[in-house]
């Protein structure tokens, strides 16, 4: 295994991770909810009476984050994201992620962060499954050159 | 009561903002970094493992505290997931999600944040994801639910 030292960002990633943990901690301890993006968003498809406003206020916070981030962090520290996937691949990926996360009742945040933190066997199985599928998909794309 | 509701909405907004900032700082809103982690057999970028590690470190502590309590800090209900089943739905859904995650390098949170950051492909991804979520909801309502009702008549 070769480590990609040029792109590895240990300090920023660990700090970012701790912030994700703090956000999840506040959500369960203060509001009594699991911070799971696919569940929060999926619950709006379609919106249900009395179960909508909390989702919207969370999502609004999430959506203003880039504006705040750019206001706080000097531009030279921000690297522009790179998306290699074609539009067609992005559409297929979006459909798979939308159906899959709802079918499994969770994604990287709900199962990966909160579920593993709760030591839930169900979330461990989910996390191993999506990580495994992710590794396999990238192996096929990068090293078998099928896609 | 009304005031407590307002407080909840302020907390939701702040938690959403904090989560978005954490995602951006961690580098997870950059699909090439996510795919760099998933590319175990190429040149491997371990950053995502540190993101998960950092989040879970804090999370384990928080959920240990939460499990010992009967209410939230504001005296509200603690809504822990009740579904403990490890079934086909969980595994097949997660495999589908993982395949999509590897294909584009986006999972739901970072995709939403990237979309708000003005990335056109993230917008395409989010629209497809919403269609997928709605599709699941319709499937569940019109195919799974009636079938279940037929199997277990009331």
Rounded CA-CA distance B108/A142 in Å is 23
In a domain, A100, yes or no: yes
Residues of A in contact with B11 (CB under 8 A): 26-27, 30-31
Q: What is the pLDDT of residues B84-130, one digit of tens each?
A: 999 999 999 999 999 999 999 999 999 999 999 999 999 999 999 99
Residue contact A83–B122, C-beta within 8 A: yes
Residues facing residue B71 across a β-bridge: B77
pLDDT range class, residue B153, cuts 50, 70, 90: low
Residue B146 near chain A (CB below 8 Å): no
Number of structural domains found in chain A: 1
Arithmetic mean of pLDDT over chain B:
93
Of B26, B42, B86, the CB nearest to A13: B26
pLDDT in tens, B40-58: 999 999 999 999 999 999 9
CA geometry: angle at B80 spanning B79 and B85, to 5°? 135
Cα→Cα distances A114→A21, A118, A123, B6, B130, Å? 8, 6, 9, 25, 23
Closest-CA residue of A relative to B75 is A30
Peptide bond into A46 cis (omega under 30): yes
Taking CB atoms and an 8 Å limit, are B62 and A21 in contact across chains?
yes
CB contact under 8 A, B93 and A103: yes
Q: Which domain holds residue A88?
A: 10-143
Q: Choose among B42, B47, B113: nearest Cβ to A65.
A: B113
Q: Dig out the tokens for A146 from the structure.
A: 């099928």
Instruction: Report CB contact under 8 Å: B103, A46.
Output: no
- Set of chain B residues whose Cβ sits within 8 Å of the Cβ of A125: 86, 90-91, 94
Tell me whether residues A61 and B15 touch, CB distance under 8 A: yes
Q: What's the gap in Å between the CA of A50 and the closest CA on chain B?
A: 12
Closest CA to B91 of A122, A45, A119, A41: A122
Question: Does A122 fall in a domain?
Answer: yes
B123 touches chain A (CB under 8 A): no
Q: How confident is the model at residue B141 (pLDDT cuts 50, 70, 90)?
A: confident
* Cβ contact, residue pair B81, A143, below 8 Å: no
**Chain A CA closest to residue B134:** A45
Contacts of A100 in chain B (CB under 8 A): 92-100, 132
pLDDT at B139 over 80: yes
In a domain, A5, yes or no: no
Q: Which of B20, B33, B112 to probe the A interface (max A CBs under 10 A)?
A: B20
Predicted TM-score (pTM) above 0.90: yes
How many structural domains are present in chain B? 1
Q: Does B88 touch chain A (CB under 8 A)?
A: no
Give the model's pLDDT for residue B140.
84
B1 has a pLDDT exceeding 60: no
Q: Which of A103-117, B83-97, B132-146 has the lowest mean pLDDT?
A: B132-146
Does A1 reside within a domain? no
Query: How far apart (Å, rounded) are the C-alpha atoms in residues A8 and B95?
Result: 26
**Domain with B35 in it:** 2-151
């Amino acid at each position: 295994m070769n480590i990609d030292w040029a792109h590895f960002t240990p300090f920023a990633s660990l700090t970012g991770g701790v912030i994700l943990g703090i956000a999840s901690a506040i959500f369960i301890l203060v509001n009594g909810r699991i911070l799971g993006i696919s569940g929060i968003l999926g619950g709006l498809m379609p919106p249900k009476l009395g179960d909508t406003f909390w989702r919207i206020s969370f999502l609004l916070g999430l959506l203003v984050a880039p504006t705040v981030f750019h206001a706080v962090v000097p531009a030279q520290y921000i690297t522009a994201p790179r998306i290699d996937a074609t539009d067609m691949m992005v559409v297929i990926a979006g459909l798979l992620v939308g159906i899959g996360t709802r079918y499994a009742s969770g994604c990287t945040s709900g199962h990966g962060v909160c579920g593993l933190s709760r030591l839930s066997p169900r979330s461990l199985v989910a996390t191993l499954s999506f990580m495994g599928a992710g590794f396999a998909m990238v192996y096929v794309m990068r090293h078998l050159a099928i896609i | 009561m009304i005031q407590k509701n307002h407080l909840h909405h302020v907390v939701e907004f702040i938690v959403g903002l904090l989560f978005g900032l954490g995602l951006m700082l961690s580098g997870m809103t950059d699909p090439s970094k996510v795919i760099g982690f998933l590319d175990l057999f190429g040149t491997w970028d371990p950053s995502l493992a540190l993101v998960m590690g950092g989040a879970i470190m804090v999370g384990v502590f928080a959920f240990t505290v939460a499990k010992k309590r009967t209410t939230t800090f504001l005296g509200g209900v603690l809504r822990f997931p009740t579904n403990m089943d490890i079934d086909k739905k969980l595994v097949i859904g997660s495999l589908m999600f993982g395949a999509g995650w590897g294909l584009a390098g986006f999972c739901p949170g970072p995709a939403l944040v990237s979309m708000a950051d003005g990335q056109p492909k993230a917008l395409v991804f989010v629209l497809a994801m919403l269609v997928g979520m709605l599709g699941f909801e319709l499937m569940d309502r019109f195919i799974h639910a009636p079938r279940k009702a037929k199997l277990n008549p009331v």
